[in-house]
Structure 1
Amino acid sequence: MAALDIVKAYYDCFNQKDWNGMLALLSPNIRHEPNQGEPRIGLEQFTEFLKIMDTSYDETLTDMVFMSEPSNKRVAVEFVVNGIYKQGEAGLPEAHNQTYQLPAAAFLEVEGDKISRVTTYYNLPLWIKLVSE
């Protein structure tokens, strides 16, 4: 399967909140590089991250644009995060079901038929502003 197809399936699972489907597309040694903080390595750490995300946020991605490169290893995707901030996290504003729309992007690497790296970028100060208004 082409890297682009794998990444599209991953984000389809995200929008369907099919966490097991997402995890099935990841390498056991997945490297998750978040916008802030240290990388998470491995399915166990990524699974814990998904649990926190599912508890604190309800997000759907729209306006998705996928870009791949000739080696069939890397895919970039640009999207808008449409979210509800359900439960606060340490160091972030208090949550009370604020809605937000935030532009973001991700870069993914595929080895074999599994995603081996997910790197995500977004404007955290803008997100804080959106949920603080």
Structure 2
Amino acid sequence: MGWWRDRRVVAGLGAAYLLVLALLVAGPWGWALNRLTVRLYVFFREDWPVAPGWALPEHYGYLLNVVLFVPLGAFVVLVWRWPWWWATCAGVLASAAIEGVQWLWLARDGDWLDVVANGLGALLGAVAAAVVSPRGRRR
């Protein structure tokens, strides 16, 4: 039996993820996140040249947004047992709320492309969780 089938383990990991997500999106990390995207850009352009020529530092930021919401989509499917499409909708709504808060009240810029990237991450996590969950494999 995989760890993803034990709802208590997934719920605990999900709670830790949500705490880290809240700290990440509400904290004053904008400059550090921008530096991270530039470092990734330089690494994949110069140190380990596998990036396509058209990839810019902004694209790494969007990729990080995708990765950020993969656990959310998986968490919703595995713990709450929502279908993958509801988990994806929940990820998009959560992302839109986060971007709205960042735009209105925090010293961060909200961006609708971040919502799209976060929604894609939630979709990937939800579909992956639906595939590995016993309920999803029976279908």
What is the TM-score when the length of structure 2 is the normalising length?
0.24
Counting helix residues as a fraction of each chain, which structure ranks higher? Answer: 2
Please identify the structure whose Cα radius of gyration is greater. Answer: 2
The higher-RCO structure (CA 8 Å, 6+ apart) is 2
Counting strand residues as a fraction of each chain, which structure ranks higher? Answer: 1
What is the TM-score when the length of structure 1 is the normalising length?
0.25
